[in-house]
Structure 1
Amino acid sequence: MNLVTRIDLLERLGNWMQQNPEQWQAAKEKAGRLNPWFSPGFTNLAVDNIVSRFLQRPLLEAWVKRYHLPDSNTAPAKVGVVMAGNLPLVGFHDFLCVFITGHKIVIKLSSKDEVLLKTIVEQLYEWDERTRDLIQFAEVLKGCDAYIATGSNNSGRYFDFYFGKYPHIIRKNRSSVAILDGKETPDMLSALADDIQLYFGLGCRNVTQLYVPEGYDFIPLLEALKKYDHLADNHKYKHNFDYHLALLIMNSKFYMNNGSVVLAENVSPFSPVSQVHYQYYNQPKETLATELAKDEQIQCVVGVGDIPFGKAQYPELSDYADGVDTMQFLSDLKLQ
């Protein structure tokens, strides 16, 4: 299967997902039943982003042109991919990278997201039988030539042990931060609320920590975050909110709360669901942004001059997780 055919299939897949046939609707509904974090609105948002930002032919052609991919991959490697399941189809970009470079992919799905990608792949099987040789699923990954694995810091140690002797990309815990200066407009704060609360705040691109100057007025931000009050209708989110609020109260910690999200001072960039950490800074924003960009725990730095407010959850094809160029890794992959 040559490169043009693979792009044809991906373009067709984007059109199919956008048309939302009954089969795809049923898959999304089932995914939501199995994982209450996959609300219909957030699942549709993830799908719309994939369709509009990944599966458009001009975007795909411009993307692969940067890597000088050959028309045919005459020596495809078998690439094992361990996918996360914190967001709907969060592993799709890895799948896309392996497929478009012409390598064979063996996918270990997360138990939290077992339905959506399988449905997509079954559709590709139906359109072109050759994809059965290129895309497979497995409960245990072994006998692969290279590995891409995404998980927690704990699972990262496991991945290092088993996959470290092979060419690999191993991703661990990351989160995102925003730098504020108190001059944000209501529209900017509304956009920041999206960065914080889309997908219930579960993604590595979600802002979970704020850097603010001394004397920062949090009231406008708390008001802006009320646009996501409806998240408390999700029982899992509400349980997190009640539990972590109770911990702060019992430990006599200072906090701010608007009824659906809690702000608490904390140096950690990793905050629980329904909570956002903040800390104060007293250095130039540009210096702080440069320091944060070097932090291996930080995926995105949101704010003026960095990723604009409201754009953290809308990655492009070339926005690689952990800053590691997956396409270059796969393009350079040579069988020994």
Structure 2
Amino acid sequence: MLQNEIKSSFIALGKFLTQFSFEKNTKDNTVLNNDLFYDDFIALIELSQSHNGWFTPEQVYYSIESWAEALQENNLSEWLSPYDLSKISAKKVGLILAGNIPLVGFHDFLSVLISGHDVLVKTSSNDQYLLKFLAKYLIAVQPKLANKITFVEGKLEGFDAVIATGSNNTARYFIYYFKDKPSIIRKNRNSVVILDGKETHEDLVNLGEDIFRFFGLGCRNVSKLFVPKDYDFDLFFKAIYEYRDVIYYEKYANNYDYNKAVFLMSNFKLLDNEFLTIKEDASYSSPISSVFYEFYDDLEVLKIRLEADNEQIQCVVSNNLVENSIAFGQTQKPKLWDYADNVDTLAFLSKL
């Protein structure tokens, strides 16, 4: 298949996705294959929480709206412009996907296909349906894609390269199992924020988005605060109060109650606002409903530490306190060229 054919198929998918919003779904009769897919997609979105209790309609719609924006022609063209994909000989690329947030594996799926390769997809049991639905839509738009997309139920076999995402424990297995194949192996990562006390109320409200979007389940969610010694946590708590309704989701509330009880029984000192606990801790990975914090004295020393720990960190949020930091409220709005773990997926695929 020509790359332009594949690219056009994803642009059509993007147009299809623009119809869906948590606020209001709006049917556009000019969209291809709407008669076959529009109503069924709304039904799937509404069913998603029964498939995975964390996939509330609001969170699923957020992911869909993000991909609707990303799959605009100008974004795809800007993303692809640095690469020469014209001479690629199609290989079979296996994907082992995570399932922590809706459509978390879609970027890898898109990258493999748009670079001209064939994709073998092993979905997570936590996110089995959304990507398969979008794949069916793509095939309806461009039937040639049927020969390039395969979903695997059992063991992943017959691949030339692999991109696998999992925990630190499963990553060790992946590294051993795929040692003879070109691979990208992704492990656990977390995101952090550096505060200096000069942030506006709006900055801290936006930080709440980085913490609570997808209930904090994503590697781009902030799970750790670095704050100066004299930091006033009242500013933080007043700002994130806007996210208090998160406690009304049963799975989140259960995690809040459980993790708070564990912390208290261990006699840990906590700050608590009845829907989020924050705890002083050197770790980057905090449990759901909790964020860790750590004091710093010297920003330059902190920069050195974060650089040393870069394999544990996905994003750093700040008001330009460190190079390449992300603005408040933007961690779950990556561009197509914002690669997971800073590993250029298209560069990897172009060399197969």
TM range (shorter): over 0.9
2:76, 2:294 → 1: CA distance? 40
Larger displacement relative to structure 2 (292-301 or 114-123): 292-301
Match in the other structure for 1:40: 57
- State percent identity of aligned pairs: 43
Q: Where does 1:212-227 land on structure 2 (aligned, <5 Å)?
A: 212-227=227-242
Query: 1:290: how far off?
Result: 4.9
Aligned twin of 1:84: 98
Matched residue, 1:16:
16
Counterpart contact for 2:192–2:224, Cα < 8 Å: yes
Q: Distance in 2 between matches of 1:115 and 1:289?
A: 41
Q: CA RMSD in A?
A: 1.2
Judge conservation of contact 1:231–1:237 (CA < 8 Å) in 2: yes
- How many angstroms apart in 2 are the aligned matches of 1:294 and 1:147? 27
Shift of 1:109: 0.1
What is the aligned counterpart of 2:297 among 279, 282, 291? Answer: 282
Alpha-carbon distance in structure 2 between the residues aligned to 1:164 and 1:224 = 47
Q: Can you give the 5+ residue segments of structure 2 that lack an aligned partner in the other structure?
A: 21-37
TM-score (norm 1): 0.95
Which whole-Å CA distance do the structure 2 matches of 1:30 and 1:118 have between them? 14
Q: Distance in 2 between matches of 1:165 and 1:228?
A: 47
Q: Deviations over 1:79-114 (max 9, x none)?
A: 000000000000000001001001000000000000
Match of 2:112 among 98, 106, 110: 98
Does the CA contact (< 8 Å) of 1:232 and 1:238 recur in 2?
A: yes
- Return the offset for 1:161: 1.5
Residue 256 of structure 1: SS of its match in structure 2?
A: strand
How many Å separate the matches in 2 of 1:14 and 1:293?
Answer: 36
Please give the residue correspondences for 1:33-182 in structure 2 after superposition, counting only pairs within 5 Å: 33-52=50-69, 54-70=70-86, 73=88, 75-139=89-153, 140-182=155-197
Of the three residues 316, 319, 326, the one matched with 2:345 is 326
CA contact (8 A) 2:85 2:116 kept: no
Partner SS, residue 94 of structure 2 = strand
Q: How many Å separate the matches in 2 of 1:128 and 1:258?
A: 51
Residues in 2 aligned to 1:293 and 1:115: alpha-carbon distance in whole angstroms: 38
How many residues are treated as equivalent by the alignment?
A: 329
- The CA distance in 2 between the partners of 1:287 and 1:69, in whole Å, is 42
For residues 189-200 of structure 1, the aligned pairs below 5 Å read 189-200=204-215
253, 261, 266: which one pairs with 1:251? 266
Corresponding residue SS for 1:19:
coil
* In 2: Cα distance, 1:7 partner to 1:242 partner: 47
The amino acid across from 1:291 in the alignment is: R
Contact 1:208–1:271 under 8 Å retained in 2 = yes
